[in-house]
């Protein structure tokens, strides 16, 4: 991570120089010298890291010193830039003076900055002296021309994301049909169906395919999926189930405050008159069932054919459940099925056609597939890795190596190869960050991207913005799918603990998960604060001093008060307060932060007339009532209408209706890719297709009543991949021959349509759909 630190510091200096302000003229010479020395320092890193890998402890210390010096430099440069930004925001007579002259307080601050820069330069001089003594040589100036390796990504980037479903299910057709039949059979008694197999055998992939199937969705009234893992809390699982089966009954924050007994009782009452299926994935302990039901019987037996689908590595887990249980041992893939899955991953059709020696690849590929011993995860991960290395020598080297699936050896080897093959150290820093999260934590790609950019791991390159590069990093590192992400994270925790601790143990980042109570120190250099399921005692006092903060995540926390001084965090890019109980409404000063890119709120906020959010890309609001806003609905609509540059727009109103005027605002969001609006009361008809963003890929639109057929409008959206609609009351629904050219997933709920006309040629790419529910 030292490279990221040095590059970030140099970037901060360049940004400061671009300000062209007279305010800092007294220290700009010092700043220029500091930049030159940092760039020179960057050249020593590769040789120092090479000696560190060879076991040179002194070189390891030097790499840490370089990183720390770069962090110190970035801190002091940002403090200088912060002064400029702050003075530009000041209003009135004093504001005018501070922009063109130096106030006494500024002179004092400038003196401190100058002293700190001189101290950092002395520190860097000592590093140069140590490098010479250790015979570490500079290898050029990678800061200025690191090769733009970040621009060199596979040309098939878009192709890799065309399919909505990540995971292939190969060789499990019989198992799939057998388990589905067990779930929907006429036996009315509540029963458990258990899929049992070793790790990597495809249990979760098969279960997810079954869970998402049209037949299961149509047969059961309600469904839920929870991942159990080794470290779980029964109440957390129950709350997760409750959110899935009762999405419109209770607000998420209400669920968070419930005790285990109340949650179990409400789930029992809700499911009592419904035919349901609940999936418990990756169950390790035999007492899991008892833990879930310890405060009472959660899953009622209404004699209506309800089911629990369970996946586990241990047959003892399945046998421990005291009710009717069907155990399905999952077989490993035979050689032909192994080759089918391996070839899909390693030699997809769009790459196979460009190979001249495809027969040689196939012959060697079959031998490699047999080394995976029929384990789907090993086949998929090895195949995915080799698809990035399409030369015979690379394939042959892996075949000759003594890789084995025993005790996860193959997985560790592929992980190490994937890490070492990443083209630059920026991507390696991002890759390591995955292991910061708990093993059972479901990491979203959006979280990773926002964290990486906040940590300055991703620097802008040529035509790409940092966020765009970050998504390409995810593609290059092959961590976009849920299963692969889980594999990498678990492997990191088991085999790279020391490296992770070295890379992430720095005072600029705090991540806390399910810590009962936290007391924040005044960490003035904090850049990332990511806390979930906790109580923060002194947040309002501590946060005001964190002027470098970029990433503020407080999810499902209590006793949080956002002070008006939140508006002083001029570098803040992401704020996420979903499911957090605030002691006061989000202050209007939040909208003074021009750097905001992603805003996720629960409850309400003070809108402002003159927002500065030119960079805002995500706006996500979950609320139950307009009473939270202390503003009229029309004021909220007007405020949101200013957000013309949004890429993601989510309004999730659980107990009140979204104003109808809100749907007309979509015409003001030409760049929107994802829109969720839940829920309107009555929509006479949708606006014309040309009034929707033309690059829209996902649309979720919920209403109590939609009077006019929405299909002739939404089918014309050229990029739409995922569509969820609720509430159409018309008798007939039609999809024309050219309709939905890219749609892959379609969910329809609360529809009362008697006739659905689908012309030949419509929905050519639909891969997952639900009938009318």
Q: CA–CA separation, 643 vs 474, rounded Å?
A: 28
**Domain-ending residue, one of 494, 518, 552:** 494
**353: burial class by Cβ within 10 Å (0-12, 13-18, 19+)?**
exposed
CATH number (domain holding residue 198): 3.40.50.300
650-672 pLDDT, tens digit per residue, is 998 877 788 888 898 899 999 99
- Residue 487 lies inside a defined structural domain of this protein: yes
Identify whether residues 57 and 113 lie together within a single domain: yes
Please indicate, yes or no, whether residues 89 and 38 belong to a single structural domain of this protein.
yes
Instruction: Find the range with the poorest average confidence among 162-166, 197-201, 273-277, 701-705.
Output: 162-166
pLDDT surpasses 50 at 268: yes
| 489 has a pLDDT exceeding 50 | yes
Out of 494, 518, 547, pick the residue that ends a domain. Answer: 494
Task: Tell me the average pLDDT across 115-133.
Answer: 81
Instruction: Kindly tell me the burial class for residue 510, based on how many C-beta atoms sit within 10 Å of its own C-beta (0-12, 13-18, 19 or more).
Output: middle
Residues 285 and 347 in one domain: no
Pairwise CA distance, residues 178 & 499, whole Å: 45
* pLDDT given for residue 626 in this prediction: 67
Is the pLDDT at 592 greater than 90? The verdict is no
Looking at the fold, whether 32 and 134 belong to one and the same domain comes out as yes
- Give the Cα separation of 629 and 350 in Å (integer): 52
Q: How far apart are CA 125 and CA 128, in angstroms?
A: 5
pLDDT higher than 60, residue 140: no
Please check whether residue 34 is in contact with residue 120, taking contact to mean a CB–CB distance below 8 angstroms.
yes
* pLDDT tens, position by position, 142-170: 444 433 444 444 333 333 333 444 456 78
Q: Taking a C-beta distance cutoff of 8 angstroms, is the pair 408, 377 a contact?
A: no
- Output the pLDDT for position 165: 42
Q: Token pair for residue 725?
A: 């609609």
Residue 506 φ/ψ, nearest 5 degrees: -140, 150
What local confidence, expressed as pLDDT, does residue 119 receive?
A: 84
Peptide bond into 738 cis (omega under 30): no
pLDDT digits 0-9 by tens, 74-122: 888 888 777 777 766 665 545 555 555 455 566 666 767 778 888 888 8
178 is a domain residue: yes
pLDDT for res 502: 39
For Cα atoms 710, 716, 722, give the angle at the middle one, nearest 5 degrees: 75
Residues forming a β-bridge with 347? none
**In this structure, is residue 711 part of a structural domain?**
no
pLDDT of 209-220, one tens digit each? Answer: 999 888 998 899
Neighbour-count burial of 299, counting CB atoms closer than 10 A to its CB (0-12 exposed, 13-18 middle, 19+ buried): buried
Check whether residue 29 and residue 70 sit in a common domain.
yes
Residue 263 lies in a domain: yes
pLDDT at 511: 85
The SS3 assignment for 749 reads strand
pLDDT at 432: 74
Same domain, 325 and 339: no
> What pLDDT score was predicted for residue 147?
37
Is 642 within a domain? no
In a domain, 305, yes or no: yes
Residue 145: its pLDDT value, please?
Answer: 40
Query: Does residue 419 have a pLDDT over 80?
Result: no
Residue pair 62/48 in contact by the 8 Å Cβ criterion:
yes
Residue with tokens 């001189």: 118
Half-sphere exposure of 64 (CA within 13 A, CB side): 14
The whole-angstrom separation of Cα 312 and Cα 358 is: 39
Q: Which among 12-26, 238-252, 487-501 has the top mean pLDDT? A: 238-252
pLDDT at 367 over 80: yes
How far apart are the C-alpha atoms of 345 and 347, rounded to whole Å? 6
Assess whether 318 and 340 both reside in one domain. Answer: no
Is residue 324 domain-shared with residue 448, that is, in the same domain? Answer: no
Rounded alpha-carbon distances, angstroms, from residue 537 to 256, 521, 534 = 18, 11, 10
Q: Rounded to an integer, what distance in angstroms lies between the CA atom of residue 596 and that of residue 279? A: 38
Q: What is the pLDDT of residue 222?
A: 94
Query: Buried (b) or exposed (e) across 677-701, using 16+ Cβ within 10 A?
Result: bbbbeebeebeeeeebbeebbbbbb
Q: Who contacts 61 (Cβ-Cβ below 8 Å, separation ≥6)?
A: none
| CA pair distance 646, 309, nearest whole angstrom | 40
- HSE-CB for 628 with a 13 A CA cutoff: 21
**Whole-angstrom distance between the N-terminal and C-terminal Cα of the chain?**
50
Read off the pLDDT band of 423 (50, 70, 90): low
> Do residue 110 and residue 212 come from a single domain?
no
Residue 482 predicted with pLDDT over 70: no
Confidence of residue 560 (pLDDT cuts 50, 70, 90): confident
* Residue with tokens 């569509």, as numbered in its chain: 723
308 and 229 part of one domain: yes
Whole-structure pTM value: 0.76
The pLDDT value given to residue 771? 47
User: Does residue 664 or residue 412 have the better pLDDT?
Assistant: 664
Here the tokens at position 85 are 């930004």
Q: Are residues 357 and 321 both part of a single domain?
A: no
Specify whether 314 is located in the same domain as 383.
no
Domain-terminating residue out of 329, 355, 388:
329
- For 723-763, the pLDDT digits (tens) are 999 999 899 999 999 999 999 999 888 888 889 999 999 99
The pLDDT of residue 538 is: 80
Choice between 116 and 421, residue whose per-residue pLDDT is larger? 116
- 528 close to 451: Cβ distance less than 8 angstroms: yes
Domain extent, residue 373, equals 335-494
Domain count for the chain? 3
Tell me whether residue 87 is in a domain. Answer: yes
Token reading at 523: 């960490």
* Nearest alpha-carbon partner for 477 in 164, 153, 163: 153
The answer to whether residue 730 is domain-embedded is no
| Token output for 241 | 């189930």
Looking at residue 506, its pLDDT comes to: 47
């Amino acid at each position: 991570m030292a490279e990221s630190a040095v590059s970030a510091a140099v970037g901060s200096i360049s940004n400061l120089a671009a300000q062209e302000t007279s305010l800092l003229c007294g220290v700009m010479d010092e700043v220029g010298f500091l930049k030159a020395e940092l760039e020179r320092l960057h050249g020593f890193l590769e040789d120092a890291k090479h000696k560190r890998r060879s076991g040179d402890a002194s070189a390891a210390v030097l790499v840490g010193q370089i990183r720390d010096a770069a962090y110190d430099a970035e801190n002091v440069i940002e403090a200088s830039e912060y002064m400029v930004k702050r003075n530009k925001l000041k209003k009135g007579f004093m504001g005018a003076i501070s922009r063109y002259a130096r106030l006494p307080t500024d002179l004092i601050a400038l003196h401190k900055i100058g002293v700190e820069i001189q101290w950092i330069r002395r520190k860097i001089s000592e590093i140069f002296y140590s490098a010479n003594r250790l015979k570490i040589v500079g290898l050029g100036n990678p800061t200025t021309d690191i090769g733009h390796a970040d621009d060199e990504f596979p040309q098939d980037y878009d192709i890799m994301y065309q399919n909505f479903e990540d995971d292939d299910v190969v060789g499990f057709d019989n198992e799939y049909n057998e388990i589905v039949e067990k779930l929907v059979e006429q036996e009315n008694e509540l029963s458990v169906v258990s899929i049992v197999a070793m790790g990597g055998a495809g249990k979760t992939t098969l279960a997810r395919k079954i869970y998402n199937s049209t037949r299961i969705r149509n047969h059961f009234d309600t469904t839920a999926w929870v991942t159990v893992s080794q470290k779980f809390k029964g109440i957390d699982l129950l709350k997760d189930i409750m959110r899935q089966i009762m999405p419109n009954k209770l607000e998420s924050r209400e669920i968070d405050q419930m005790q285990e007994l109340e949650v179990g009782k409400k789930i029992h009452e809700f499911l009592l008159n419904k035919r349901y299926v609940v999936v418990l994935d990756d169950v390790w302990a035999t007492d899991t069932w008892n833990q879930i039901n310890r405060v009472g019987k959660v899953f009622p037996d209404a004699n209506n054919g309800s089911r629990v689908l369970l996946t586990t590595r241990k047959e003892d887990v399945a046998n421990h459940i005291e009710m009717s249980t069907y155990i399905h041992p999952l077989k490993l893939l035979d050689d032909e099925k192994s080759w089918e899955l391996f070839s899909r991953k390693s030699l997809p059709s769009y790459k196979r056609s460009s190979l001249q020696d495809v027969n040689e690849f196939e012959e060697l590929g079959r031998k490699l597939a047999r080394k995976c011993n029929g384990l789907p995860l090993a086949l998929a991960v090895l195949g995915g890795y080799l698809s990035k290395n399409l030369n015979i020598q690379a394939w042959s080297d892996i075949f000759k190596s003594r890789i084995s699936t025993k005790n996860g050896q193959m997985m560790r080897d592929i992980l190490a190869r994937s890490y070492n093959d990443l083209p630059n150290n920026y991507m390696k820093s991002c890759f390591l960050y995955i292991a910061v999260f708990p093993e059972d934590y479901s990491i979203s790609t959006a979280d990773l991207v926002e964290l990486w950019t906040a940590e300055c791991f991703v620097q802008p390159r040529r035509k790409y913005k940092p966020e765009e590069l970050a998504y390409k990093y995810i593609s290059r590192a092959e961590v976009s799918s849920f299963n692969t992400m889980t594999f990498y994270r678990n492997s990191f925790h088991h085999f790279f603990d020391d490296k992770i601790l070295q890379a992430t143990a720095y005072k600029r980042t705090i991540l806390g998960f399910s810590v009962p109570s936290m007391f924040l120190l005044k960490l003035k250099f904090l850049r990332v604060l990511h806390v979930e399921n906790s109580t923060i005692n002194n947040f309002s006092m501590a946060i005001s001093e964190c002027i470098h903060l970029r990433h503020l995540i407080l999810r499902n926390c209590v006793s949080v008060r956002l002070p008006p001084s939140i508006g002083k965090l001029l570098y803040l890019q992401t704020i996420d307060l979903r499911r957090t109980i605030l002691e006061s409404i989000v202050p209007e000063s939040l909208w003074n932060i021009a750097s905001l890119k992603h805003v996720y709120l629960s409850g309400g906020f003070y809108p402002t007339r003159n927002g500065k959010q030119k960079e805002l890309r995500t706006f996500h609001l979950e609320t139950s009532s307009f009473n939270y806003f202390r503003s009229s609905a029309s004021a909220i609509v007007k405020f949101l209408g200013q957000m013309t540059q949004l890429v993601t727009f989510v309004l999730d109103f659980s107990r009140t209706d979204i104003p109808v005027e809100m749907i007309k605002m979509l015409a003001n969001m030409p760049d929107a890719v994802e829109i969720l609006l839940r829920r309107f009361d009555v929509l006479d008809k949708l606006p014309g297709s040309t009034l929707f963003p033309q690059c829209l890929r996902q649309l979720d639109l919920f209403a109590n009543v939609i009077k006019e057929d929405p299909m002739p409008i939404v089918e014309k959206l050229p990029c739409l991949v995922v569509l969820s609609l609720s509430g159409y009351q018309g008798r007939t629904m039609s999809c024309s021959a050219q309709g939905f050219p890219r749609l892959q997933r379609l969910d329809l709920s609360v529809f009362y349509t008697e006739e659905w006309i689908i012309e030949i040629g419509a929905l050519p790419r639909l891969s997952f759909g639900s009938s009318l529910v």
